[in-house]
Amino acid sequence: MAEEQKQELKYFVRIANTDLDGNKPIQNALTKIKGLSFMLSNAVLNAARVEKAKKAGYLSDEQVSMIDEVIKEPSKFGIPVWLFNRKRDPEDGTDKHLVGSTLAFIQDNDIKMMKKMKSYKGVRHSFGLPVRGQRTRSNFRKNKGKVMGVKKKEGAKSGKV
């Protein structure tokens, strides 16, 4: 604690091209990076040998650069493959973990590829319907931005007797 009193708090810490809040514990702050879950942030901090409860603003530059390296190439630091978000990449067959803008770019390309090949998931994406097998009778009833509600059949009687 004596070290933290001497060192000044940085209000923003930049890791993986993302500004993180310096007042939060580093384990919680890392989850604000797109593509990093709580479990992966735990594994990254273990690999980088950084205290999880330490506030992000009190990290030294060496610790920040070490965390950045582990996030860029987690397989080098012994993080298990089952934590990665891109296993057996279709292009090169390797296991990767993508973060930030590259994750969004690759996801968009995957969806465009599915639409182009007209796979079931691609067709569901193009029609704006749920892709993973959810029911559509009561949910996903929005029709081009307008809420549809329940449509009554023409032959149905009103509630009055």
Contact between 46 and 59 under an 8 Å Cβ cutoff? The reply is no
13-42 pLDDT, tens digit per residue, is: 898 888 998 899 999 999 999 999 999 999
For residue 116, give Cα distances in angstroms to 100, 127, 133.
Answer: 25, 13, 21
* DSSP annotation string for 91-141: TT---B---THHHHHHHHHHHHHHHHHT-HHHHHHHHT--SS----SSS--
Contact between 118 and 74 under an 8 Å Cβ cutoff? The reply is no
**DSSP element (H, E) containing 47:** helix 38-48
127-154 pLDDT, tens digit per residue, is: 888 999 888 888 887 666 666 667 777 7
Report the percentage of the chain scoring pLDDT > 70: 88
Q: Walk me through the domains of the chain, giving residue ranges and CATH numbers.
A: 2-82 (1.10.8.50), 101-134 (no CATH)
Of the candidates 58, 25, 59, which has an alpha carbon nearest to the alpha carbon of residue 42?
25
